[in-house]
Amino acid sequence: MSFDSPVPPAESNEALREALLSLRRDYDALRQAGADVQQLLEALESLLGVEGEEDPFVRVFSSLRKVFTFSQALMLAEPEGGGEALECIVAEDARLLHSRWPVAALFRKVMGGKVVATFSTSGLPEWEVAAGLGLSPAGSALLVPVRVRERRGILLLLREPGLPGFDRGNVALARRYSVLVSHALASRYAAESAAESRRLLELSRQLRQSEQVAKRNADLLQELVRAMPVGVAVQDEAGRLLVVNDAGARLLGARVEEVLGELPPHLRPEGEQAQEAQLRLTRYRERLAGGLPYTRERSVTLDGEARTVLLTGTPVRIFDEYLMLSTSLDITERKRFEEEMQRHAFHDPLTGLANRALMNEIVDKAVRAHQERGMFALAFIDIDNFKQVNDYYSHGMGDQLLIAFSRRVAEALRPSDTLARISGDEFLLLVDPAQNEAEVARVIERVLEACRRPFVVEGHELLTSASMGVSFYPAHGGDYETLRRCADSAIYQAKSLRKGSVAYFDASMGHALTARMDLEQSLRAAVRDRHFRNAYQPKVRLADEAVVGFEALVRWVEPDGRIQPPGVFIEMAGELGLLDEITLQVLDDIARELPCLSRHYGAGISVSFNVSAQQAGDMQFIDRLLAAISASGIARRLVVELTEDALVAAQQFQDAVLPRLRALGVRVSIDDFGTGYSSLSTLADITADELKVDRAFITGIHERARSQGILKAIESVCRALQISMVAEGVEEVEELDYLRSHTGIATVQGYCFGRPAFLEDLLPRSGA
């Protein structure tokens, strides 16, 4: 609207009226325009205030009510998936929601951007659906184009029949409103789009970042794969290498670039190996089709050297492609190590001979081989007096003797025979095959003869011999263990008769073996069930014949009440490895019975128990023993008796065990002194609290001047070394008198003062 002067030059009434009317019109127009602007601004403000997920059309409709008067309002829009009809996406009346309105000329005009008011919609195609929705075609309608994102839409305002129709003023206002709504929605969606755009940008940035990370990871992975010490390869269905790293290619005897994309060399059906390669290729494809993973070893030649390669293959399916993932590892060194370990597992490290386990397998194999017919012999070989050699010279000398011995025996054997070292100085010989016993005897005799010849070890000439016990398959047994026990029985027999001889297993040995096996079983059960009890023999002070201590001597009390002395079972217990348990049970019983002994004999009495030379050299047992002594709480009341040989031979006993015993307060006694290989001078090397002179020197001491002299010498040394002495085996009064009158020995032990007795047998007598 322009503002050029409305006042005509003449100031007639008509002119004034006209001017007034003109001003009024201008004013009304301005006021209306202002009202329109205000309404539009309020509508705009309302529209732009739509937040978050709020439906903007709620605001649209509420803003419409401020601008227009209508009975119904609904929003029609092009369907998102396309289509001819418009869909009612928003309506104040929920019944109208999702109704579909056909598009004809009127709607097309409006969607083209024109605001249209209708005074009647009767007969219009677009209104065909309206009747079903309860909308009268007789009412006026205002159709306003609105853009909702990429969809065109129509805002439909309806007035009921009878109400004044929408006029051109409404149309003009609706044009502005249309622009406003579309812009407001566009702004909102643009803001959303902007936000969405920012979000997408951020997503894009994150994706790029992820991509970079992924690429970096992929590169890293690629480098890792390339650098892996294990060969990695991926092959396709045809066997071609899609992926192979440096290690994998090297194990194929090639470089990566030579094999990538090609068949590996061993699968290429070309040259002399074509047929074989083709077979391998066929097997490969079968494996791939089978879908089962595999592991196998393959021998290859790399740089002229034979190598063993461990191959694993796993068929996989990735993105509809069948692939073989495989790894390859050069295990040549490992194989060597395994073989070495195998050898060690089945061979004696000192002599290189088969060990017990391997011998077992070899004998089992022989049994299987001779199941139908044939025979073979299994012979135990034991070096006579090997222990003395070990003790006298050194363990190193002993080892050298064993090595020389094993070589000497091996030379005497046939190529088919097998020699094994099963423990210490014990060997097993398999004479296989054997036509008859005479043939075996000839082999045995050669071995014996070979063993009789002197051995020169480290400049020393050693004379020794071997005892042998022989059993025959199938006569004496059908398995390794039986044959071994038979041979063991036979050697036991041979040793007891004459060293350096041979004994062939027979029925009597079988009985002995059976008895031995029974004894073994019984002994094992006795250890398990703690059928051992201590028999205590008192040590008496010579001056007043007061009991100053006891020696605990183990007895095996069988379930039927029979009491077995140590001589029956100690050796076997040692062989079977049961002696440790028996010794610990002895200690347990001492700890349990000492309070009673103390009550009757005084709190100062001591109890001694025996430890064998073998035990003295077994640190594992010593640890257990010391722990048990410590736990018993009676360490200061205990005396450990060891033979002089044990003390002399086990150097580490002196160095490592004695200090620990001393620290606990346990005393050490040299038992059976005079019977070992030690001399008096060795007493200087032994740290002991007590020395027990063997009964050999005490028996008939009153009549044997030589023994008297020896005893005097021993006493003199003990006095000098401040070692107390005990005389063992005092049985006669005369012996007692002599000791009392001619020696300074303070303590005696023997039948003279009491035999070893169980606690309950001991107490009544002492209590009497």
Partner 1 sequence: MDRVHSCAARGGDTAEVFRKLTAQLPEGARGAQMVVAFYGCGHDDNLLAAELRRHFPQAALVGGSSAGGLMTERGVIDEQGIGLLVLEDAAGEYGAAAGPLGHDPAAAAEALLGQALASCGCEGQLPELVWIYQAPGQEEAVLEGLRRVVGNTCPIIGGTSADETVAGRWRQLGPTGALSDGLVVGVLFPSAAVGFAFQGGYEPAGPSGVVTGIGFQPDGASGVVTQGHGREILSIDGEPAAAVYNRWTGGVIAAELERGGSILQQTTMFPLATDGGRIDGVTHYLLIHPESVTPAGGLRVFRDVAAGTRLFAMRGDRRRLIERAGRVSRQARRSLPDALAVAGALVVYCGGCKMAVDKEIGEVAGAIAESLHGAPFLGCFTFGEQGCLIDSNVHGNLMISAVVFAR
Q: Give me the residues that bind partner 1 (CB under 8 A), please.
A: 1-2, 4, 6, 8, 10, 12-15, 17-18, 20-22, 24-26, 28-29, 105-106, 114, 116-124, 140, 164-168, 171-172
Between 168 and 706, CB nearer to partner 1: 168
Report, in Å, the least distance between residue 121 CB and partner 1: 5
Report, in Å, the least distance between residue 6 CB and partner 1: 8
CA atoms of 421 and 409, how far apart (whole Å)? 11
Between 135 and 701, CB nearer to partner 1: 135
Between 38 and 342, CB nearer to partner 1: 38
Strands (E), 636-704: 638-643, 667-673, 690-693
Residues in the chain, total: 768
Q: Please identify which residue in the block is written with the tokens 């069988």.
A: 558
Tokens representing 183? 């812009």
| Closest of 675, 672, 689, 676 to residue 728, by C-alpha | 672
Between 121 and 643, CB nearer to partner 1: 121
Q: 135-142: long-range contacts (C-beta < 8 A, 24 or more apart)?
A: 135/72, 135/96, 136/160, 136/161, 139/71, 139/163, 140/164, 140/165, 140/166, 141/117, 141/166, 142/68, 142/70, 142/115, 142/116, 142/117, 142/118, 142/166, 142/170, 142/171, 142/174
| Closest of 644, 637, 623 to residue 666, by C-alpha | 637
Report, in Å, the least distance between residue 179 CB and partner 1: 13
Report, in Å, the least distance between residue 99 CB and partner 1: 20
- Residues in contact with 115: Cβ distance below 8 Å, sequence separation at least 6, in sequence order: 142, 143, 144, 145, 171, 174, 175, 178
Tokens representing 269? 């059906």
Report, in Å, the least distance between residue 27 CB and partner 1: 9
CA atoms of 303 and 300, how far apart (whole Å)? 10
The residue type found at 503 is A
Between 128 and 520, CB nearer to partner 1: 128
DSSP β-bridge partners for residue 189: none
Largest CA distance in the chain: 186
The H helix count followed by the E strand count for the chain is 25, 27
Report, in Å, the least distance between residue 77 CB and partner 1: 21
Between 106 and 324, CB nearer to partner 1: 106
Report, in Å, the least distance between residue 107 CB and partner 1: 12
CA dihedral 391, 397, 402, 405 (to 10 degrees): -110
Between 52 and 123, CB nearer to partner 1: 123
Strands (E), 278-436: 294-302, 305-318, 321-330, 375-383, 418-423, 426-434
Between 80 and 167, CB nearer to partner 1: 167
Report, in Å, the least distance between residue 155 CB and partner 1: 16
Report, in Å, the least distance between residue 119 CB and partner 1: 5
Report, in Å, the least distance between residue 136 CB and partner 1: 13
Contact between 641 and 692 under an 8 Å Cβ cutoff? The reply is yes
Between 139 and 231, CB nearer to partner 1: 139
Report, in Å, the least distance between residue 115 CB and partner 1: 10
Q: How would you classify residue 385: left for phi > 0, otherwise alpha for psi between -120 and 50, otherwise beta?
A: left
Map residue 158 onto helix, strand or coil: strand
Report, in Å, the least distance between residue 175 CB and partner 1: 10
Q: Where are the alpha helices (DSSP H) in 538-690?
A: 566-576, 579-601, 613-616, 619-632, 644-649, 651-652, 658-664
Half-sphere exposure of 341 (CA within 13 A, CB side): 6
Between 8 and 291, CB nearer to partner 1: 8
Contact between 572 and 519 under an 8 Å Cβ cutoff? The reply is yes
Report, in Å, the least distance between residue 23 CB and partner 1: 9
Map residue 385 onto helix, strand or coil: coil
Between 8 and 83, CB nearer to partner 1: 8
Between 162 and 459, CB nearer to partner 1: 162
Between 29 and 341, CB nearer to partner 1: 29
Half-sphere exposure of 451 (CA within 13 A, CB side): 29
